Amino acid sequence: MHPELRFPRSDSRQPAQETSVAELSLATAKWCARKGWPVHPLAAGRKTPVANCSDCRTHPHAPADCPCIPAGRWCHGFHAATLDQDRIQRWWGSNPRFGIGVSCGRAGLVVIDIDAHPVQPPTRDRILPGIPIADHIDLTGLANGFHTLAVLAALRGRPSPADDASTLRVRTPSGGLHVWYRTGDARRWQSSVGSSPGRALAWQVDVRAHGSYIIAPGTATRHGVYSPLGSVREPAGLPLWLAQELERTGHLPAPSIPAPRPVPPRARQAVLAAGGGRDQNLLASVLAPVEACGQVPEGAGFSDTLNRAAYTLGGLVAAGRLPREEAEQALRQAATTARPGQERRVEQIIRSGLTAGLNRPLQDNGRRQ
């Protein structure tokens, strides 16, 4: 936490300007809850949720089936987010160095997460999904999400959300920016990552909504502080033009399809119902190590585990034993449940592992061609 965090003076219950780290973490969590934003603890100095309890780590299960959440424990990350002030007092009062995560979907928030990672831009068709960029257009200097979002806004004749001083904006330790908006209806806006070949708003522009969380302003990690800009501490309404862009790029589920829910482990066997019992069991066994990583916040070898699972399922796809779309969906569900808020990393690992596995079909005898 950081003393630069200031809350609106209209809130009589705001924390004092000169506060200790312990006082500020608890006060911020309570302040978020009073805003109607369910909160959950993040591991001290990190941006990932705190570890699950020993029972959840030993016996993997879906958050919906976990008795810990109704019992007032913080297992399963944003699934345990709460508005209960007494629970918040217990969590942060006993662990004052915990960071604060906000469950975006339940809070009615859509947060535009602008990255500034120093990586090579992708192909032109993935810079602004659905908007072709002709070869004659000079893209020299386009290097990050601030640039791509500015281009999108300019095409629509609007200012970039990065410059929207009417809403809560939070600078990230890596030089990115979180732009917070509130939704004005019950539509379930979906999350995405700006590097995804599927649903995405723009390259290096992630969307935090249902199924993900955002780090509360003032939270400190070992890399720095999530610092609010200016004096505005309230999210403005989601601009109409931006809502239209999110809808255009697939950030709303199809009207006839219910919004996705976490799938209980036993239900996963139906994914390969047409593939025979042996392949059903194989899918479950391939995904089990990925799910197990969700029981510890770090140090579980998550990247290697997910890569091996993606490689194996790629081999099954190549052998005609599993549709690729179902393999990707099963991997993505297991991985994002295990590591919520790390969609970019998950997508990259899945894409790499599947691509490698597709070159080596996995036959019935377990050998690759």
pLDDT in tens, 185-231: 788 999 998 777 778 999 999 999 998 999 999 898 899 999 999 99
Decide which of 206, 226, 254 is a domain's last residue: 254
Res 302 pLDDT > 70 = yes
Q: Are 161 and 227 contained in the same domain?
A: yes
**pLDDT for 268:** 40
* Cα 310 to Cα 12, 61, 267, distances in angstroms: 52, 21, 20
Confidence of residue 364 (pLDDT cuts 50, 70, 90): low
Q: Are 103 and 246 contained in the same domain?
A: yes
Q: Are 240 and 280 contained in the same domain?
A: no
Residue 100 bridge partners (DSSP):
41
Flag whether 45 is in a domain.
yes
User: Tokens 């068709």 identify what position?
Assistant: 125
pTM of the predicted protein model = 0.66
**pLDDT for 22:** 58
Flag whether 369 is in a domain.
no
Which structural domain range is residue 12 located in?
A: 1-254
**pLDDT for 300:** 56
DSSP secondary structure of 111-124? EEEE---------G
Decide which of 190, 224, 254 is a domain's last residue: 254
Flag whether 363 is in a domain.
no
Residues in the chain: 369
Q: Are 246 and 269 contained in the same domain?
A: no
Q: Are 230 and 297 contained in the same domain?
A: no
In this structure, which amino acid lies at residue 316? L
How far is residue 49's CA from residue 297's CA, in Å, rounded to a whole number? 6
Q: Are 332 and 350 in contact (CB under 8 A)?
A: yes
Flag whether 366 is in a domain.
no
**pLDDT for 5:** 45
Q: Are 97 and 91 in contact (CB under 8 A)?
A: no
Question: Which of 42-60 are b and which e, b meaning 16 or more Cβ less than 10 Å from the residue's Cβ?
Answer: bbeebbbbbbbbeebeeeb
24-38, 158-172, 342-356: the lowest-pLDDT one: 342-356
**pLDDT for 261:** 42
**pLDDT for 254:** 64
Q: How far is CA 324 from the centre of its chain?
A: 23
User: In total, how many domains does the chain have?
Assistant: 2
Q: Are 311 and 346 contained in the same domain?
A: yes
Q: Are 163 and 194 contained in the same domain?
A: yes
Confidence of residue 36 (pLDDT cuts 50, 70, 90): very high
SS3 labels along 209-234? CECCEEECCCCEECCEECEECCCCCC
Flag whether 116 is in a domain.
yes
Res 182 pLDDT > 80 = yes
Collapsed DSSP state (helix, strand, coil) of residue 103: strand
51-65, 160-174, 266-280: the lowest-pLDDT one: 266-280
Decide which of 221, 254, 287 is a domain's last residue: 254
Q: Are 127 and 167 contained in the same domain?
A: yes
Q: Are 42 and 189 contained in the same domain?
A: yes
- List pLDDT tens digits, range 220-270: 889 999 999 999 999 999 999 999 999 999 998 766 444 444 444 433 443
